[in-house]
Amino acid sequence: MTALDDIRVKEGVDAETVDAVKALSGTYKHGWNTEIEMEYAPKGLSEDIVRLISAKNEEPEWMTDWRLEAYRRWLTLKEPKWAMVEYPAIDFQDQYYYARPASMAVKPKSLDEVDPKLLETYKKLGIPLKEQAILAGVEPGPEDRKVAVDAVFDSVSVGTTFRKELAKAGVIFCSISEAIREHPELVRKYLGTVVPQSDNYYATLNSAVFSDGSFVYIPKGVRCPMELSTYFRINAENTGQFERTLIIAEEGSHVSYLEGCTAPQRDIAQLHAAVVEIVILDDAEVKYSTVQNWYPGDENGKGGIYNFVTKRADCRGARSKVMWTQVETGSAVTWKYPSCILRGDDSQGEFYSIAIANNMQQADTGTKMIHLGKNTRSRIVSKGISAGRAQNTYRGLVSMHPKAKNSRNYTQCDSLLIGSHCGAHTVPYIEVRNNSSRVEHEATTSKVDDDQLFYCRSRGMDEEEAVALVVNGFCKEVLQALPMEFAMEAQQLVAISLEGSVG
Amino acid sequence: MVADPRTTATDERLDALTLPAGNGWLHAARKDALGRLRAVGLPVRRDEYWRFTNPAPLVRVAPAPDAPTQTDDPFDGVDAYVITIDGDRLDLPDGAPDGLEITTLSKVAEADIHWVRDLYGKLEAAGSRPVSRPFAMLNTAFATGGLAIRVMAKVSRPIHIRTIGGTDPILHHVVKVDADAAVTILESGTAGARSNIVTEVDVADRAAFDHIRVQGPDHARHVNTHLFARLGTGSAFKSFTLSANGQFTRNEAVIELTGDDATAHVAGAAFGRDDLHHDDTVFVIHDACDCESRQVFKKVLRDGATGVFQGKILVKEGAQKTDGYQISQALLLDDDSVFLAKPELEIYADDVACSHGSTTGAIDETALFYLRSRGVSKRVATDLLVLSFLTEAVDEIADDGLRDHVGGLMADWLSRD
């Protein structure tokens, strides 16, 4: 794959255009590394390490036991091999399972006490952690929406913003380690009830060694006053990041949650195994949006993040609703199936996904819609784009149980191929066990339409711009489902991710 | 150490079978298949390709005791050259149409060099990659009979292979269609309580192969068929299967388009009730440019019947301008019936148009209401809608006469179901 510098500028294209495109595309933007003093637990995985992580987080005994139980279970499990991804064997003993900035050894009382280098890191990523910046520094315009952020740096949460304002509404938004200490009754009641410790290889590993993550609790009838966001950053080398997110939406509540991820550019692949659990009670609604932009590795497949994620929402209540939206552009290997258990009658699950794989990236992603309750509805819209030598697989399950009378599912999976050395695959499973439900599945695979490209080119766009525009059009249905903050970023990401895929 | 259940089951089944004696090429092919089978073993329920169908009825040493009853010749009235396989008896009647060379597997085994040698077990072995098909391997190793058909011209009359009788037949047919030749093969029969039938078809450049199979309304049968086909440049392949009832049916097809401009159409209509289990597993491999493939499968299920569809289109790197289409639809007539589907696409070429669709649901209430408001009884209205639903698959049959015949047969069987 050629870098932009190598592209022959065709006649009639001025230098300004080339610069503009270069500025827009560029290579991986977040590949830099923060020089910061880190504190590591020894390399490798053992019961002692699990105990150490638990001790570092000052956890109660029940939590330590819970972790140890997961660890012992994990030792009996085998790594799953069914996904259409190939990667060298992971040496689980050659990883750090705990790393935190040294300055975090004593928990800072407020954001003012946080190491400025850390705040700088997030600022560089475009994430304002200092609420003062908005409250005092820059006067926000009337359209500017407030977003509360929880930032996770390697293994620990470095700060959560807007806590006071959220507390006024009764919303709890903090790191999970804090929640285990401050709200043990809630954590104990819900942790592991959606994704059990023994769920799968990576979820079990996560249960044993998760170091931090976010915790959200929306009380009965509360509409969360602002969007909540977690920003995950892997910085340290050879460090696995295992975050765990738990969201509880009580009856009639509503929350929109955003998640972003980046990592520095390194030659050695890094492991990321997260678990997200969402519990949704009667009439509550959760919207979960992800822009996953972990470092994808270079064009020869060197480095990058191995992203093994288990995300599941349990619509326990009647008329509850969950909406997953994901833009997956990063990671060398992605293994991720955000799922919906539609247990409550009349509950709804939606899944909107854009997965882009370029160069040597491999993505095996999709969703599961498990219909258990009556009159449940689900909708899947998946757009997969493959370029370079990448492999992109949609894998999904729609299951209508015998008691899920009058339920509906509509699935649409479209794949786009750019270049003749990549692959796009669709592996849906459809299981229908009652006759009052309707299930419809549609999938197409095609290439970027030549007529559309020609049209854009004839209007003076260069090929990469034209492809980015067409691809953005292809993804439109999903981009529209994203919250505004993410929609813009996602559109640009689509263009960046495809850099070097044409020409 | 506890023995692996797969190994135990495989050993038990193979110990009960005897490799037919011989020392020629056929024997070598059988031994090769047996070796491949021993390496992979017979399937177990947790195997990915058997997740929807329990292979136990095919694995067990002896078939279920209740043998199917004989049915009438479903192609009665069609002008065809009929070859009847009754248990172990296989006689070739006189009057074969011109342009054919037909012989039996037992005769072929005696010949030193024969065209069958280049095909027997060869397409089956190729079709076992990447997914192994252990029952086809078992068939290649232990086939007790079968036909070798070479088509050298455009054959005027269809060949009807009618399989009746026997308890646990293992039949292996090999068909070679030479360049520019054409043939229509009809297949019917209950073929014993359990049957394992493999057909290997080599379709040369510009040749045409048409296949229509009916699996009659015999409840007790357990059937496992494999159809392996290799298609040359500009060739045309068509296969349609009508299945009515039957406790266990698994029809597998592996079709590889190796020459440019080839077309492959595979279709099936199935209906049944109670403990019917019907599985269509289709794998279409595009390994050439400008080819077209089409899969149309419809099932009507009632009173707890189970329908399975696993269909895959694989487009290899370089197989540009591929047009691949696949549709699987099920009509569930009550709440106890089940449809399980896995329609897959695996694509490594960019200039292609591939799509698949799958729908499952009850009978359209609006259509039912329309018919009832016109004074049609609910029973008749349902039958009409079922018939029209299945007819879309029957329409895949190219020949007008045969299409009408199969359509009539289906309506008749439906009315008796």
A-B contacts at Cβ under 8 angstroms: 117
User: Token pair for residue A265?
Assistant: 């550019």
Q: What is the pLDDT of residue A122?
A: 62
Domain contains B394: no
Q: How far apart are CA B414 and CA B416, in angstroms?
A: 5
- pLDDT tens digits along A300-319: 878 888 899 999 999 999 99
Q: Of B247, B240, B290, nearest to B265 (Cα)?
A: B240
Q: What is the pLDDT of residue B16?
A: 93
Tell me which of A202 and B66 has the higher pLDDT: A202
Asked whether the beta carbons of residue B359 and residue A419 sit closer than 8 angstroms, the reply is no
Domain contains B386: no
Domain contains B168: yes
Per-residue pLDDT at A44 exceeds 70: yes
Domain contains B287: yes
Per-residue pLDDT at B224 exceeds 90: yes
Burial of residue B247 (number of CB atoms within 10 Å: 0-12, 13-18, 19+) = buried
Q: What is the pLDDT of residue A154?
A: 64
User: Mind telling me how many Å the CA of B127 is from chain A's nearest CA?
Assistant: 20
Q: What are phi and psi of B202, to 5 degrees?
A: -110, 115
Alpha carbon distance, N-terminus to C-terminus of chain B: 50
Q: How far apart are CA B212 and CA B169, in angstroms?
A: 21
pTM: 0.87
Instruction: Report the 3 state secondary structure along B139-154.
Output: HHHHCCECEEEEECCE
User: Mind telling me how many Å the CA of A132 is from chain B's nearest CA?
Assistant: 50
Q: What is the pLDDT of residue A5?
A: 44
Q: How confident is the model at residue B23 (pLDDT cuts 50, 70, 90)?
A: confident
Interface test mutation site (partner B, options A445, A446, A449, A450, max chain B beta carbons within 10 A):
A445
The residue segments making up the domain with residue B289 are: 5-363
Element (H, E) at A160: strand A156-160
What integer is the mean pLDDT of B15-34? 90
Interface test mutation site (partner A, options B297, B300, B322, B347, max chain A beta carbons within 10 A):
B347
Q: How far apart are CA A325 and CA B382, in angstroms?
A: 41
Asked whether the beta carbons of residue A430 and residue B357 sit closer than 8 angstroms, the reply is no
The residue segments making up the domain with residue A210 are: 30-336
Instruction: Please give the tally of structural domains in chain B.
Output: 1
Q: How far apart are CA B22 and CA B111, in angstroms?
A: 12
Interface test mutation site (partner A, options B52, B300, B333, B348, max chain A beta carbons within 10 A):
B348
Maximum distance among all Cα pairs of chain A, rounded to whole angstroms: 70
Q: How far apart are CA A502 and CA A418, in angstroms?
A: 7
Percentage of chain A exceeding pLDDT 90: 42
User: Mind telling me how many Å the CA of B381 is from chain A's nearest CA?
Assistant: 18
Domain contains B99: yes
- Taking any CB pair shorter than 8 Å as contact, residues of chain B touching chain A are 48, 317-318, 320, 330, 332-362
ipTM confidence: 0.89
Chain A residues touching residue B280 (CB < 8 angstroms): none
Q: How confident is the model at residue A2 (pLDDT cuts 50, 70, 90)?
A: very low
Q: How far apart are CA A330 and CA A327, in angstroms?
A: 9
Q: What is the pLDDT of residue A4?
A: 38
Per-residue pLDDT at B176 exceeds 70: yes
Asked whether the beta carbons of residue B356 and residue A442 sit closer than 8 angstroms, the reply is yes
Chain B residues touching residue A436 (CB < 8 angstroms): 335, 362
User: Token pair for residue A464?
Assistant: 């990469």
User: Residues near B359 by Cβ (< 8 Å), separated by ≥ 6?
Assistant: A438, A439, A440, A441, B329, B330
What integer is the mean pLDDT of A150-168? 71
Asked whether the beta carbons of residue A420 and residue B356 sit closer than 8 angstroms, the reply is no
User: Token pair for residue A323?
Assistant: 């909406």
- pLDDT tens digits along A13-26: 455 544 544 443 44
| Nearest-by-CA chain B residue for A429 | B342
Per-residue pLDDT at A6 exceeds 80: no
* Angle, alpha carbons A172-A173-A176 (nearest 5°): 105
Q: What is the pLDDT of residue A28?
A: 66
Domain contains A392: no
Q: What is the pLDDT of residue B184?
A: 97
Per-residue pLDDT at A371 exceeds 60: yes
Interface test mutation site (partner A, options B334, B346, B368, max chain A beta carbons within 10 A):
B346
Asked whether the beta carbons of residue B335 and residue A82 sit closer than 8 angstroms, the reply is no
Domain contains A181: yes
Nearest to B338 among A420, A428, A432 (CB): A432
Chain A residues touching residue B323 (CB < 8 angstroms): none
Nearest to B355 among A82, A423, A443 (CB): A443
Domain contains B372: no
- pLDDT tens digits along A67-122: 999 999 999 999 988 888 888 888 888 888 887 766 665 555 556 666 666 666 66
Q: What is the pLDDT of residue A17?
A: 47
Q: What is the pLDDT of residue A141?
A: 42
Q: Could you tell me where the DSSP H helices lie in A194-237?
A: 201-209
Domain contains B149: yes
What integer is the mean pLDDT of B199-212? 98
Chain A residues touching residue B325 (CB < 8 angstroms): none
- Taking any CB pair shorter than 8 Å as contact, residues of chain A touching chain B are 82, 400, 402, 405, 415, 417-447
Q: How far apart are CA A132 and CA A114, in angstroms?
A: 14
Q: How far apart are CA B409 and CA B399, in angstroms?
A: 15
Chain A residues touching residue B335 (CB < 8 angstroms): 402, 405, 434-436
Percentage of chain A exceeding pLDDT 70: 77
Number of C-beta neighbours around residue B154 at 10 A: 13
What integer is the mean pLDDT of B361-367? 92
What integer is the mean pLDDT of A349-378? 93
Highest averaged pLDDT of the listed ranges A36-40, A145-149, A256-260, B255-259: B255-259
Highest averaged pLDDT of the listed ranges A492-501, B88-97, B281-290: B281-290
Per-residue pLDDT at B360 exceeds 70: yes
Contact A419, A388 (CB under 8 A): yes
Average pLDDT, chain A: 82
Tell me which of A416 and B190 has the higher pLDDT: A416
Q: How confident is the model at residue A341 (pLDDT cuts 50, 70, 90)?
A: very high
Domain contains B384: no
